[in-house]
Amino acid sequence: MIRNPTPSSIALYTALVVALLVGGLTAFIQASWTEALALFVITGVFSFIFFYYALEIFIYRKIKLIYKNIHRLKTTRYTSSVFNKSNMTSDPISEVNQEVILWAKDQNAEIEELKKLENFRKEFLGNVSHELKTPIFNIQGYIHTLIDGAIDDPEVNVHFLKKAAKSVDRLCDLVEDLINISQLETGQLKMEMERFDIHAQVRDIFESLEMKAQERGITLNFKEGCDQPFFVYADKYRIRQVLVNLLVNSIKYGNDGGHTYCAFYDMDENILVEISDNGEGIEEKHLGRLFERFYRVDKSRSREAGGNGLGLAIVKHIIEAHGQTINVRSKVGAGTTFGFTLKKGAGE
């Protein structure tokens, strides 16, 4: 058995077999070793030439042509090619076999990825349509009611106009969030980097959310040892968005009378920021999809709280735009912790 055969090796072994058969048969019939040897050599040479060119022209060239067609369809993920001058080998069949296997795997992976993207697109369009439909239908109902005569009723008209205005505000927030996500994904939204004290920023957010937290008896505080300056290098406005979103979520979905803590940890080149609560927690099956657009753990409760399911998706995009990471850990009945890193401010 010839391992990794080439045209020359196949032709050589085939020519030897043919020459031995012809030479041996000649020696057996004529009993002349001289003639048999001469015929063996002549037959071997001509057989080698014949089989070599037959293999090279009619088989290997066809294989190379097939491979070139496959290679043109391949993505640039695999850079090796038996037809690059720098990578030409004497064993094209083995190379072609490996490349075709890689190509097939690549095609299967691409098909699976396209299926996931198609499902994601359908789900996304469905979610967007649903989110847009609710405020639009509300606005439509209020306006038609006013047109049908309610505009003349002083006890009703202002009430309906306020409800319509609230739906318009929700619609504007949804569109703005979609624009922000699109800009973050395409890199159009540039980060304005600066050095600032994130501890002071969180304290300012605590003060702005104090009344909202008091409505549910939730306390906002820093963990022990974290009530001091921590400087980071980031987009101050965008990080405020991240912190507000995480803190508002902890108030919305936390337990009445519970608490929310913010902590900072020095991670050499980065600062780890954690927002944790002692709320109901999130089941593990939801954690992997928590940062997806429009994904809700409890859809009915999220809608009652006024969320549109885009907040955590925006948070993730903002942190990734800083070249950093965000994660979540949670335990049902114990609470949830969101953590993200930021580059440490110069001088720290």
In the chain, the amino acid numbered 63 is I
157-163 long-range contacts, Cβ below 8 Å, gap at least 24?
A: 163/138
Mean pLDDT confidence for 306-319? 81
The per-residue pLDDT for 337 is: 93
Between residues 239 and 7, which one has the greater pLDDT? 239
51-55, 73-77, 120-124, 190-194: segment of lowest average pLDDT: 73-77
- Using 50, 70 and 90 to split pLDDT, how confident is the model at 69? low
Q: What is the 3-state secondary structure (H, E, C) of the chain?
A: CCCCCCHHHHHHHHHHHHHHHHHHHHHHHHCCHHHHHHHHHHHHHHHHHHHHHHHHHHHHHHHHHHHHHHHHHCCCCCCCCCCCHHHCCCCHHHHHHHHHHHHHHHHHHHHHHHHHHHHHHHHHHHHHHHHHHHHHHHHHHHHHHHHCCHHHCHHHHHHHHHHHHHHHHHHHHHHHHHHHHHHHHHCCCCCCEEEEEHHHHHHHHHHHCHHHHHCCCCEEEECCCCCCCCEEEEEHHHHHHHHHHHHHHHHHCCCCCCEEEEEEEEECCEEEEEEEECCCCCCHHHHCCCCCCCCCCCHHHHHHCCCCCCHHHHHHHHHHHCCCCEEEEEECCCEEEEEEEEEECCCC
Query: In the predicted model, what is the mean pLDDT of residues 237-244?
Result: 94
CA dihedral 310, 313, 318, 322 (to 10 degrees): 180
Structure tokens at 82: 């038996």
Residues 40-67: tens digit of each pLDDT? 677 777 777 777 777 666 666 666 666 6
Least confident of 116-125, 169-178, 284-293: 116-125
Question: What's phi and psi for 337, nearest 5 deg?
Answer: -130, 125
- pLDDT in the model for residue 298: 65
The full set of domains in the chain, from first to last, is 7-107 (no CATH), 116-186 (1.10.287.130), 195-343 (3.30.565.10)
Q: What integer best gives the mean pLDDT of the chain?
A: 78
pLDDT of 276 reads 93
Q: What is the mean pLDDT of residues 305-323?
A: 82
Beta bridge partners of 263: 274
> 43: which residues sit within 8 A by CB, 6+ positions away?
15, 18, 19, 22, 23
CB atoms closer than 10 angstroms to residue 126 = 11
Residue 273 reports pLDDT greater than 70: yes
pTM as predicted:
0.60
In the block, which residue shows the tokens 């057996």?
28
Given a cut of 60, is residue 117 above it in pLDDT? yes
pLDDT band at 306 (very low <50, low <70, confident <90, very high): low
Q: In the sheet that 335-343 helps form, which strands lie side by side, from edge to edge?
A: 219-222, 259-267, 270-277, 335-343, 326-331
Whether pLDDT at 278 is above 70: yes
Comparison of pLDDT for 103 and 244, the residue scoring more: 244
When pLDDT is averaged across residues 112-140 and rounded to a whole number, the result is 75
User: What number is the average pLDDT over the span 67-95?
Assistant: 53
Q: What is the pLDDT of residue 2?
A: 53
Q: Is the model's pLDDT at 78 over the cut of 50?
A: no
Q: CA-to-CA distance for 268 and 284, rounded, in angstroms?
A: 30
The mean-pLDDT minimum among 62-66, 87-91, 94-98, 172-176 falls in: 87-91
Q: In this model, does residue 293 exceed pLDDT 90?
A: no
Give the pLDDT confidence score for residue 82 in this predicted structure. Answer: 43
